[in-house]
Chains A and B, each alone.
Chain A
């Protein structure tokens, strides 16, 4: 039972443009959300997170938006760079839970 869903398995974007990655969740107990980035042959690395008390968190070129009523979050990358080509995983946890639930990932390809 997939509680975190990333319905777009892949995304191709031109360098300099915006990348928008979407994530939906079903568990209303989730209150903390993270994005991880994964390069081939490497483990996922933490990118950015957001708590349910916020609807936006920004870190440089990366911004995460949270819409709790829709149980939806998105990651914006502006401007996209070739080094952003990777798999991006959305993850979520409930308060005081030690487990993360992950989506299946979205593969982003940034074209020069």
Chain B
């Protein structure tokens, strides 16, 4: 597709349930990021994938969070045993390369998944 696609756009779940969020990046983009935005907060980095390299998971808030990227394309973010504090907009972004943003690289974001944990 032309842009980064995320599904579902909205997800309401009960506390304790597991959820899976999907991201389909722009074709040809080797770098993929997950960010989240909680109410009143900035975008918080969660995880980064670049090609076949080991992902940078340093932003994942707890071991209930995991993500994978299959075939260097689609990514799934999984949250196990959801808690109310997990409620946020989860944003996926992709970019062509990762030599740093000073090279005029940009992130292209999807529309996000609004997760509500009741």
- A interface, CB within 8 angstroms of B: 2, 4, 6, 9, 31-32, 34, 36, 41-46, 49, 51, 89, 91, 93, 95-105
Listed residue (B31, B106, B107) with the most chain A CB atoms within 10 angstroms of its CB = B107
Identify the closest chain B residue to A87 (Cβ): B37
Say how far B23's CB is from chain A's closest CB, in angstroms: 11
Q: Is the CB of B93 within 8 A of A97?
A: no
Chain B residues positioned under 8 Å from A2 (CB to CB): 42
| From B42, B48, B50, B93, contact of A89 by CB (8 A) | B42
- B interface, CB within 8 angstroms of A: 4, 9, 31, 33, 35, 40-45, 48, 50, 56, 91, 93, 98-102, 104, 106-112
| From A31, A95, A98, contact of B98 by CB (8 A) | A98
Q: Is the CB of B102 within 8 A of A96?
A: yes
How far does the alpha carbon of A54 sit from the alpha carbon of B57 in the complex, in Å?
33
8 contacts between A and B (CB under 8 A): A41-B111, A42-B111, A43-B111, A44-B109, A95-B100, A96-B99, A98-B31, A103-B42
| From A31, A32, A46, A97, contact of B107 by CB (8 A) | A46
Chain B residues positioned under 8 Å from A31 (CB to CB): 102
Q: Is the CB of B109 within 8 A of A43?
A: yes
Chain B residues positioned under 8 Å from A104 (CB to CB): 40-42
